[in-house]
Copies of this chain bind each other. A is one copy, B any other.
């Protein structure tokens, strides 16, 4: 598994570049997911976000997600970049690209990747609201790891 496919970055993410990483002659489908900074969450206005990562472990976990995907969808190639630092509205926090000979696997593997990122990758988000700031526990505002230990694979 090529580690450069899985990176925590500080600069703005370029979608073209990550698509290039998974592009290949035997792909008929490439899906991408971009997680972007949304202005409004449940009626509350965000001014900007701040992402912090435990970088070496976060990259390890991204590589692990890549391995899990390789096992489940052997024909796919996946690349993931997650950005850290201060992000303005509409900027891209995470980009996932998956190429596959056929489209179903490209969609499924992509969705799997973002679910797993939200479970196991040590990255934290601080919301800077119009009226204050909060570290977000998780994006569903649930308690920690409701599905058990985060390193266990779901089936």
Contact = CB atoms under 8 A, between A and B. Distances in A.
Interface of A: 15-16, 19, 23-40, 89-90, 99, 101, 103, 106-107, 110-111, 114
B25 A39 contact: yes
Given A19-B34, A26-B40, 16 more contacts: A15-B15, A15-B19, A23-B36, A24-B90, A25-B40, A26-B38, A27-B90, A29-B34, A30-B33, A30-B36, A31-B31, A31-B32, A32-B34, A33-B103, A33-B107, A107-B107
A34 B23 CA distance: 10
Contacts of A111: 103, 107
A28 B90 CA distance: 8
A28 to B, nearest CB: 4
Report copies per complex.
2
The secondary-structure label for the interface of chain A is mixed
A87 B99 CA distance: 18
CB-based closest 3 A-B pairs: A28-B38, A30-B34, A25-B39
